[in-house]
Amino acid sequence: MSNTEGCVKCGSRRFYVIEKASVPHYEFSNSVKPFAIAAAYVEVGKPGFFGAKSERLSVGVEVQVCAKCRHIEFYASDLDVLKMFAESGEASVREVKR
């Protein structure tokens, strides 16, 4: 399913889109957190007095669900971050060429 094609399973052209998938937070009962397929802390900027500055980067997902047969497809939200993870070996991401 993409914006121009129908469901690959049943051909329906109606589907639901969840642009930023989330899951219940395991520590806080009234909270949700983004559903990520890969995440890592990476160094950003120059190291300061207390050491390296790091930032948590993650690759979320967009979910598309067929309104007829419930077929689900996931799409990565940020290919640039995924590529960076693959090049640096972070978050167990690797690129496979076939």
Three-state DSSP class for residue 43? strand
How many structural domains is the chain composed of? Answer: 1
pLDDT digits (tens, 9 = 90+) for 14-30: 999 999 999 888 888 88
Confidence at residue 53, expressed as pLDDT on a 0 to 100 scale: 80
**Strand segments (E) across the chain:** 15-18, 22-24, 32-34, 36-43, 54-66, 72-76
Question: In this structure, is residue 7 part of a structural domain?
Answer: no
Domain span at 35: 15-92
pTM (predicted TM-score): 0.73
Question: In this structure, is residue 1 part of a structural domain?
Answer: no
Summarize the confidence of residues 85-92 as an average pLDDT.
91
Question: In this structure, is residue 98 part of a structural domain?
Answer: no
